[in-house]
Every structure is written in structure tokens, then in C-alpha cells.
């Protein structure tokens, strides 16, 4: 995990609850970190956050998705 960037998401809300990007995110995302992107596989979610994944591969790219994660939905 942390090698393919397929889980790259833009944080819409709740970024203040996330830890600083780790070395894998820095390596994979580069300048996109400054645009609010994170690697979802590298995040340990303890608070509600809202993510948008707008670089989905075809055919899912036709509809950009928004995902909201809640702590109670992951059993934390």
C-alpha cells in the first residue's frame, strides 16, 4: 500500500483531523499535497472527513464520486 496512488483523494472537509502526510504520500502525491490530496490507504480515520476522488480511471471517471467517512461506520 502507498505505491499506486489509485486511492488519491482530495480532502473536502476534516483535514484538520488528519495527521501530517507520511513519506509515501509525499513521494506519490508531490505537489498535489498542497492542493489537499491525500492517499486514503495511508489515513487512519478517527473523525468525520469528506473526500472527493476526481481522477477515477474509466469507466468510473464519468461520474466523479464523493465519499464521506464516519468513525462509527468503520467501527473505531
The residue ranges that bind ligand FES (CB under 6 A) are 1-7, 39, 41
Measured from the CB atom, the residue of 6 and 47 that comes closer to ligand FES is 6
- The smaller minimum CB distance to ligand FES, of residues 1 and 16, is found at 1
Q: Shortest gap between Cβ of 57 and ligand FES (angstroms)? A: 13
Integer angstrom CA distances of residue 62 from 6, 7, 13, 54: 16, 17, 23, 10
Contacts of 13 (CB under 8 A, 6+ apart): 48, 49, 50
Residue nearest ligand FES, Cβ-based? 41
CB 11 within 8 A of CB 38: yes
Shortest distance, CB of residue 15 to ligand FES, whole angstroms? 17
Amino acid at each position: 500500500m502507498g505505491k499506486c496512488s489509485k486511492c488519491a483523494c482530495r480532502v473536502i472537509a476534516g483535514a484538520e483531523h488528519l495527521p501530517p502526510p507520511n513519506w509515501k504520500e509525499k513521494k506519490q502525491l508531490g505537489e498535489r499535497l498542497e492542493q489537499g490530496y491525500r492517499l486514503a490507504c495511508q489515513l487512519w480515520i478517527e473523525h468525520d472527513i469528506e473526500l472527493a476522488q476526481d481522477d477515477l480511471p474509466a469507466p468510473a471517471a464519468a461520474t466523479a464520486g464523493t465519499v464521506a467517512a464516519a468513525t462509527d461506520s468503520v467501527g473505531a
